[in-house]
Amino acid sequence: MHSSLLRRAWVEIDLGALLRNATAIAKYAGVPLLPMVKADAYGLGAVRVARTLERLDPWGFGVATVPEGEELRRASITRPIVVFTPLLTDEFDGAARAQLIPTLGDARSIEEWGATRLPWHFAIDTGMSRAGVHWTEVGALHDVLSECPPQAAFTHFHSAQLDDGSIEMQTRRFEHALNAMPQQPTMLYAENSAAIAREEGGSPWSVVRPGIFLYGVGSGAAQMQPENVVAVRARVVDLRTIGAGETVSYDATFRASADRRIATTAVGYADGYRRSLGNRGVGLLHGQRVPIAGLVTMDMTMFDVTDVPCAIGDIVTLIGRDGTDALTVSDVAEAAQLSPYEILTGLNGRMPRRYIGEGQGNGDAT
């Protein structure tokens, strides 16, 4: 990579770790993968992620919008691509041209898409109350399902990470709905990352639909823990000493009790490093933890480096490993009082991506 791309801040993506996570979850599930690469592969670059995962021969890929699917098609991804957010009927032409597979759950959409004779997947709502036909109302679609049978049927677990019995309840509802269909499709699926990790002895369905596990965030299940995939690093661009009583950043929320050394890094909430980390988050400098001083600003974040040697140009790790210590996406999300999904998907801004890992070399960036 040209050094100028790394002067300010960057996202580092370990494609080798991504591939190992996908391999582990595929082996554990025992069925083909339908990886979710929506939201630009959770901020990591959908095209690069999909091309890496192609090595595992996945069934297809999952996206949220027609433009996301079109991007993969332009990159010569030829596998099935499922669009999991319901489409408006005026999006059908674009989806058909790109050979995308919509997820449908109402008679009108099924009839209109059915005229294309292209594949579609039947969305069944078993408790998420977000999209798809309610599980008790599948029988009312008997005629249209007979005329336009789906390639697959699926549901989505709303609390797969919890031991609350909801997976079992939703599975029973899904099976009830499937029995109400005029003919069950041979392809059935339900499991997201957390649900896959809970299964013992493999998945009972046709494919599994992993998302955030691939990108280094686990669900807490001891038997399935992913490798870290993402690092965020920023350079120190300013260094100063402030005296007792002096303040740092907006609203003066940090006030020095004694002389403190403050390092400014060129990363802020416009890059996806969240404002809520102010005075709560930490970074890693030369393998040691340094606290954020004051509020995170749009373009810069300040750290108290009083106890750690520091010079202009030094690298602070905001997510990832430095020496023997590491800050995971989950660690940063907890400090920011957000979900790991929000942290990852927020990284698709102006920071360049640096891809490392198996077969990637170190000179590759977008």
Active site residue 341: no
Consecutive H or E run containing 353: strand 353-356
Which among 146, 155, 148, 62 is positioned nearest to 113, based on CA atoms?
148
Which among 215, 205, 217 is positioned nearest to 29, based on CA atoms?
205
The structure tokens listed for 238 are: 């300013």
Active site residue 27: no
Torsion, Cα of 49, 54, 57, 58 (10° steps): 30
> Which positions ≥6 away from 204 have C-beta within 8 Å?
none
Q: What distance in Å separates the CA atoms of residue 121 and residue 83, rounded to the nearest whole number?
A: 9
Catalytic entry in 27, 28, 215, 250: 250
Q: Tell me the backbone φ, ψ of residue 250, rounded to 5 degrees.
A: -60, 150
DSSP classification of residue 208: B
CA angle 203, 206, 211 (to 5 degrees): 70
Which among 252, 243, 247, 236 is positioned nearest to 305, based on CA atoms?
236
Cβ 339 vs Cβ 39: under 8 Å:
no
What secondary structure does DSSP assign to 7-33, as a single string? SSEEEEEEHHHHHHHHHHHHHHH-S-B
Catalytic entry in 28, 38, 189, 215: 38
Q: Tell me the backbone φ, ψ of residue 339, rounded to 5 degrees.
A: -85, 155
Within 10 Å of residue 9's Cβ, how many Cβ atoms?
25
Q: What distance in Å separates the CA atoms of residue 124 and residue 105, rounded to the nearest whole number?
A: 7
How does strand 133-134 pair with strand 121-125?
A: parallel
Catalytic residues, by residue number, are 38, 250
